Amino acid sequence: MRLGELIPAPYRLLAMGVLLASVAGGSAALAWQVQDWRYGEQLVEQARLQTEALNQLTLAATAAQQAEQDKRQVLEQRLATSEQTHYRALSDAQRDQGRLRDRLATADLRLSVLLAPVDAGGNSAVPATTATGGVVHGPARAELNPAHAQRIVAITDEGDRGLIALKACQGYIRALEQGSNVLQVGHK
């Protein structure tokens, strides 16, 4: 006897339906599980690739940031060196001006100006000969009053400081321009 004959006739159709449903359900569940494994592996692979891509982007961003910091540090060092150079020039000029003022104050040094040549009519307000009685070689000169000489030295001191400050500003701008050019070249 066969298994199908043991089942009463009215229930055979129901048993066949249950058997077919269980076979179809089992194959569907098996196919579902296989798809889950396959897509799960694909999702794991995609997650791994995305993680690698993010790590590479992070490394590239870190390298770019480090390069920018290095450029900035080089620029800051160049500016500090330039500032020290200009500060040294300013302090040297101030020291020289101080020495000149001291020499003028102690009458160790006298400032003089060239006189205009005496015209043929002799209408010059300053005599062509010096009062010291010595022999003068070269064009005629007149000594300045020490107070006026001090004022002239003060004016030239301010001018020197202004020129040094201008050179410092120009050097700073040049350094910034070179730094920005380096930064722009680095971005290309």
How far is the C-alpha of 154 from the C-alpha of 177, rounded, in Å?
34
Find out whether 140 and 115 touch, Cβ atoms under 8 Å: yes
Structure tokens belonging to residue 149: 């000489």
Range 75-79, long-range pairs (CB < 8 A, 24+ positions): 75/175, 75/176, 75/178, 75/179, 75/182, 78/175, 78/178, 78/179, 79/172, 79/175
Residue with tokens 């000969």: 129
Mean of per-residue pLDDT scores for the chain: 81
Which of the four pLDDT bands, split at 50, 70 and 90, describes residue 47? very high
Is 53 a residue whose pLDDT tops 70?
yes
CA torsion, points 81, 87, 91, 94, in degrees to nearest 10? 140
Write the pLDDT tens digit of every residue in 110-127: 777 777 776 555 555 555
Domain boundaries, the chain: 3-116+139-187
The C-alpha angle 143, 148, 152, rounded to 5 degrees, equals 100
Share of the chain above pLDDT 90, in %: 22
Is 37 a residue whose pLDDT tops 60?
yes
Residue 104 CB contacts under 8 Å (≥ 6 apart), including other chains = 110, 111, 146, 149, 150, 153
Q: What is the mean pLDDT of residues 99-117?
A: 75
How far is the C-alpha of 145 from the C-alpha of 141, rounded, in Å?
13
Which of the four pLDDT bands, split at 50, 70 and 90, describes residue 133? very low
